[in-house]
């Protein structure tokens, strides 16, 4: 139960951080981006709250609760396919009317990276819900940085050592 509360608290903190406008994209759509991001995070927060209640009462092992809450939230967001797997297609369907333009492309690219790193951990038919939490954390980072300048997120080339110039 404490773990579930930590997850919900974590997402509440993220909603508060949404108001931060540092390194925002200044393409005339910053306000739209903030609105889309806030809407998505509020939706996730609501799903997590309802899933916390549903999963906590139905999951016998407290260690499985947090991953199962994440799975439940993915399911309520319609991000899972019929086999409870999260695929690129199911994720695209889930964000179809929520994120637009280049932000949508960046979020799908981030999903592809998260899925490559954590997707193999997701086993839909396993009642312990492995992998959903780590995939959720990875996607959360992508949503959190959705409105940041993509240039600022790119790794910067290392500056040349002045000794090399001599």
Only one residue has tokens 């309802």, namely: 50
In angstroms, rounded to a whole number, what is the distance separating the alpha carbons of residues 155 and 138? Answer: 18
Of the ranges 20-24, 27-31, 39-43, 71-75, the best mean pLDDT one: 71-75
Instruction: Read off the pLDDT band of 130 (50, 70, 90).
Output: confident
Cα 128 to its chain centre, rounded Å, is 20
Q: How do residues 64-120 score in pLDDT, each as one tens digit?
A: 788 889 999 999 999 999 989 999 999 999 988 888 788 889 899 999 999 999 988
Give me the pLDDT at residue 114, please: 94
Is CATH 1.10.3470 the right assignment for the domain spanning 34-149? no
Q: What is the pTM of this model?
A: 0.69
∠ CA 100-102-103 to the nearest 5 degrees?
65
């Amino acid at each position: 139960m404490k773990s579930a509360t930590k997850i919900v608290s974590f997402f509440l903190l993220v909603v508060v951080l949404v108001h931060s406008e540092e390194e925002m994209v200044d393409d005339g759509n910053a306000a739209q981006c903030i609105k889309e991001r806030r809407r998505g995070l509020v939706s996730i927060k609501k799903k997590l709250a309802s899933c916390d209640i549903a999963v906590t009462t139905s999951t016998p092992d407290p260690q499985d609760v947090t991953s199962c809450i994440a799975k439940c939230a993915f399911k309520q967001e319609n991000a899972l396919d019929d086999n409870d797997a999260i695929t690129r297609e199911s994720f695209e369907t889930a964000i179809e009317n929520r994120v637009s333009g280049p932000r949508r492309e960046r979020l799908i690219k981030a999903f592809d990276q998260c899925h490559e790193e954590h997707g193999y951990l997701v086993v839909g038919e396993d009642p312990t819900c492995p992998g959903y939490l780590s995939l959720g954390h990875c996607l959360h980072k992508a949503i959190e940085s959705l409105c940041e300048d993509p240039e600022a997120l790119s790794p910067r080339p290392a500056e040349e050592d002045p000794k090399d110039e001599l």
